[in-house]
């Protein structure tokens, strides 16, 4: 453990850094925002969805404003609405997500009263008519009378400005100032309010505030069930409606009973509010997380104009809880919520009511702070010790497993216990510890990598150095025996090409060729580029990094090199340059590979007979008029490429004959025409080896007709003409012997 002490100390420092945020010593905005994002994601994944018919939104929408007039409507209209809702439609309860803060003067009664007191004071006919008509003109009185003795709950709001006014009337507090004496509960506190006209408040069954708690990102996630104003405590609109609903069922409005436990340290001990049989869990600010059941319109919406004009089926409202609110953009009651950036504020109250009725409220009680601190301490200290002792792979696996486990526990607590356990701090703490440990290891290991690069970079292509440096003990430049695949390529007719081009053109010509071919070898097929020999290229596969597919990669590289020649020729021809044609030889076998050379110059290279054969095969491509030749060992190692047997030969310096092949392409990519041509070629080659000259000649003639550009058929046709009249030995086996390189 001693060698990991620095990393352990750094890990513990990270743990205490994140604990500071959790314990509210300071706030890290990123963590808070990430917790909000995680909360929103969990909420959206687990919402029940569907439309809940128990609560109906009576919508002051654009249609209603167009038909009835601008808001607020005359109170006589609202009185008619109340009579229709309770009389004709039989609603159970009505709540207002609007505030009636101003008297209704639309009837002209104020003007008539002024006349009655002044100009027409002595006119008895006017006085008697005004006295008779006054009740019909007192729209405020009509509305107050329409809600009297009916389960109607009004709404109002508090404000926090320094010079906030106290306008109109609000209901009595639901809890007195002595209720929470001696407990440091962080209630939302306000400076003023805008309430309803006092005659409305006197006649209503109750009233509640509609102040949400808006988080720093502007999103409404919580509603304070009770808030503090001048030392007393007032209930939310949804809580007031719940109590009015219970009063309908039991005959008396229930009290709000705070769920208090003995306080300790900074824990004030308020965990829930109890209303009759309903328990409402609250957080440290006496707020409730809004139990959104879905996106907007999760409750039936009915235009108020349709209610007023009797266009609604009574069955849609009978026995329902109704909330009067608005979706009209001009009335500014749209909220940003976890389930939509533009969400009707009235629907928040509907969610709160049904959430309490169903018991589906998620809670984040104050004691969850202790759970989070314990989780951070135990998990953080364990990871601080564990991660430095593990390899990068196991550390990564452990961290991923830990994050997955914490996330799963968090989701189970959310789904099964309806508790909200903050997750962002844990994830970010683990991520920071992992990142710091990996960075520490990386920078320490990078010193070894630089040393490795300085030592071996002059021998090995740079793209392989990185792979080797990841595990330097596995590699050595000492010569060793290995089975590799070697490739040689050469430009045909390079002398005539160089004579046809100016020096600067020749330089560009050969640079484009070598760059393109080297890219195929190195980047596409991970080969080691050994050297350039003038216009020739030597490369190999299988060292210094092992490559189980070295033969296949060598063959595919050769095929792509030939294909790329056609692309280069299009460019060269457009510039008036000579066409490019190359020959490629590929061979596989046991060689010596390593750092070899003299005291003057050394290089990482390969030596051995298979290397010489690969070079000879490249030279023999001219003889057969084809682009690629591979040895039989290479052919045997590659299973998914279609090959054509070309000949059996003895190259200079070799006593044993070898079979040589031309790769035609991947089995899956060679078309039927090429396969038919291959079958005909195999027959012609068999006839040639059996000395059936006429049959071989006929087959070759047919092949030339099918593919006149293939030089192989012409080469064999000329060989048949020669062999036909030659005196061949009795043991002639068709092997071609080459005495030159």
Provide the residue ranges of all domains of the chain, joining segments of one domain with +: 55-105+148-358, 463-666, 671-732
pLDDT in tens, 43-91: 999 999 999 999 999 999 999 999 998 888 899 999 999 999 999 999 9
Cβ atoms 561, 586 nearer than 8 A: no
**Span 94-109, pLDDT tens digits:** 999 999 988 887 765 6
Paired tokens of 590? 């046991």
Average of pLDDT values for 228-238? 93
Query: Is the Cβ–Cβ distance between 557 and 529 less than 8 Å?
Result: no
Confidence check: pLDDT of 3 > 60: no
Amino acid 459: pLDDT: 47
Q: For residues 23 and 571, give the distance between their C-alpha atoms in angstroms, rounded to a whole number.
A: 69
Buried-state track 479-513, b at ≥16 Cβ within 10 A, e below 16: beebbbbbbbbbbeebeebbeebeeeebeebbeeb
Query: Is this model's pTM higher than 0.75 or not?
Result: no
Q: Which of 380-389, 599-608, 681-690 has the highest mean predicted lDDT (pLDDT)?
A: 681-690
pLDDT digits (tens, 9 = 90+) for 261-300: 877 666 677 888 999 999 999 988 889 999 999 999 999 9
- Out of 84-93, 108-117, 126-135, 180-189, the most confident range is 84-93
pLDDT in tens, 174-217: 999 888 887 888 888 888 999 999 999 999 999 999 998 888 88
Superfamily name and number for 463-666: Nucleotide cyclase, GGDEF domain (3.30.70.1230)
Q: Is the pLDDT of residue 1 over 80?
A: no
Q: Is the pLDDT reported for residue 463 higher than 60?
A: yes
CA angle 560, 566, 571 (to 5 degrees): 125
Q: Please tell me the predicted confidence (pLDDT) of residue 467.
A: 66
Tell the burial category of 555 from Cβ atoms under 10 Å away from its Cβ (0-12, 13-18, 19+). buried
Q: What is the pLDDT of residue 462?
A: 65
Q: What is the pLDDT of residues 312-334, one digit of tens each?
A: 999 999 999 999 999 888 777 88
Highest average pLDDT, of 265-274, 635-644, 647-656, comes from 635-644
Tokens of 168: 């109109």
Task: Report, as an integer, the average pLDDT of 523-535.
Answer: 89
What is the average pLDDT score of the chain? 87
Mean pLDDT on 461-482: 71
Secondary-structure percent of the chain, ordered helix, strand, coil, rounded to 5: 50, 20, 30
């Amino acid at each position: 453990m001693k060698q990991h002490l620095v990393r352990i100390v750094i890990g513990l420092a990270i743990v205490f850094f994140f604990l500071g945020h959790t314990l509210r010593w300071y706030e890290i905005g990123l963590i808070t925002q990430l917790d909000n994002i995680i909360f929103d994601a969990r909420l959206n994944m687990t919402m029940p969805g569907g439309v809940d018919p128990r609560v109906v939104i009576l919508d002051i929408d654009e249609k209603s404003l167009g038909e009835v007039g601008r808001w607020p409507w005359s109170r006589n209209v609202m009185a008619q609405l109340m009579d229709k809702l309770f009389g004709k439609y039989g609603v159970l309860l009505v709540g207002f997500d609007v505030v009636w803060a101003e008297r209704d003067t639309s009837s002209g009664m104020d003007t008539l009263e002024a006349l009655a007191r002044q100009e027409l004071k002595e006119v008895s006919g006017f006085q008697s008519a005004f006295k008779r008509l006054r009740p019909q003109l007192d729209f405020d009185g009509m509305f107050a009378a329409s809600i009297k003795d009916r389960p109607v709950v009004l709404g109002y709001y508090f404000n926090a400005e320094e010079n906030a006014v106290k306008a109109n009337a609000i209901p009595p507090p639901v809890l007195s100032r002595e209720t929470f004496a001696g407990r440091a509960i962080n209630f939302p506190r306000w400076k003023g309010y805008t309430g309803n006209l006092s005659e409305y408040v006197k006649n209503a069954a109750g009233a509640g505030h509609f102040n949400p708690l808006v988080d720093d990102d502007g999103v409404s996630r919580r509603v304070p069930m009770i808030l503090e104003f001048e030392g007393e405590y007032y209930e939310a609109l949804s809580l007031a409606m719940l109590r009015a609903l219970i009063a309908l069922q039991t005959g008396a409005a229930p009290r709000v009973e705070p769920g208090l436990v003995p306080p300790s340290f900074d824990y004030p001990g308020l965990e829930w509010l109890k209303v009759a049989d309903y328990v409402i869990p609250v957080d440290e600010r006496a707020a409730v997380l809004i139990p959104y059941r879905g996106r907007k319109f999760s409750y039936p919406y009915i235009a108020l104009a349709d209610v007023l004009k009797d266009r609604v089926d009574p069955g849609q409202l009978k026995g329902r809880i109704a909330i009067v609110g608005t979706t009209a953009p001009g009335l500014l009651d749209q909220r940003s919520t976890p389930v939509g950036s533009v969400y009707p504020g009235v629907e928040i109250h509907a969610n709160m009511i049904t959430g309490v009725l169903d018991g589906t409220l998620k809670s984040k009680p104050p004691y969850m702070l202790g759970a989070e601190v314990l989780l951070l301490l135990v998990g953080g200290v364990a990871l601080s010790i564990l991660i430095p002792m593990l390899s990068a792979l196991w550390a990564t696996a452990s961290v991923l497993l830990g994050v997955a486990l914490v996330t799963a526990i968090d989701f189970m607590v959310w789904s099964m216990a309806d508790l909200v356990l903050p997750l962002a701090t844990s994830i970010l703490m683990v991520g920071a510890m992992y990142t710091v440990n990996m960075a520490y290891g990386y920078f320490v290991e990078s010193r070894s990598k630089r040393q490795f690069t300085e030592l071996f970079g002059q021998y090995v292509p740079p793209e392989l150095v990185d792979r080797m440096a990841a595990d330097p003990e596995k590699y050595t430049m000492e010569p060793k025996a290995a089975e590799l695949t070697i490739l040689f390529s050469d430009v045909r007719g390079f002398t005539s090409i160089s004579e046809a081009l100016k020096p600067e053109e020749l330089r560009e010509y050969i640079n484009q060729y070598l760059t393109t071919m080297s890219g195929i070898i190195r980047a596409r097929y991970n080969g080691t580029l050994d050297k350039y020999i003038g216009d020739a290229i030597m490369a190999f596969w299988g060292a210094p990094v092992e490559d189980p597919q070295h033969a296949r990669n060598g063959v595919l590289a050769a095929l792509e090199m030939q294909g790329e020649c056609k692309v280069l020729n299009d460019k060269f021809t457009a510039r008036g340059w000579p066409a490019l044609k190359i020959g490629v030889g590929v061979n596989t076998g046991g060689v010596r590979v390593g750092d070899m050379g003299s005291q003057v110059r050394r290089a990482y290279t390969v030596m051995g007979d298979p290397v010489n054969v690969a070079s000879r095969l490249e030279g023999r491509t001219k003889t057969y008029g084809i682009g690629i030749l591979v040895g039989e060992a290479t052919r045997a190692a590659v299973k998914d490429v279609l090959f054509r047997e070309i000949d059996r030969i003895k190259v200079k310096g070799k006593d044993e004959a070898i079979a040589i092949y031309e790769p035609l392409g991947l089995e899956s990519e060679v078309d039927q025409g090429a396969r038919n041509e291959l079958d005909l070629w195999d027959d012609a080659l068999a006839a040639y080896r059996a000395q059936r000259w006429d049959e071989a000649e006929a087959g070759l003639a047919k092949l030339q007709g099918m593919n006149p550009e293939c030089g192989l058929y012409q080469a064999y046709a000329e060989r048949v003409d020669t062999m036909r009249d030659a005196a061949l030995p009795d043991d002639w086996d068709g092997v071609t012997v080459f005495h030159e390189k």
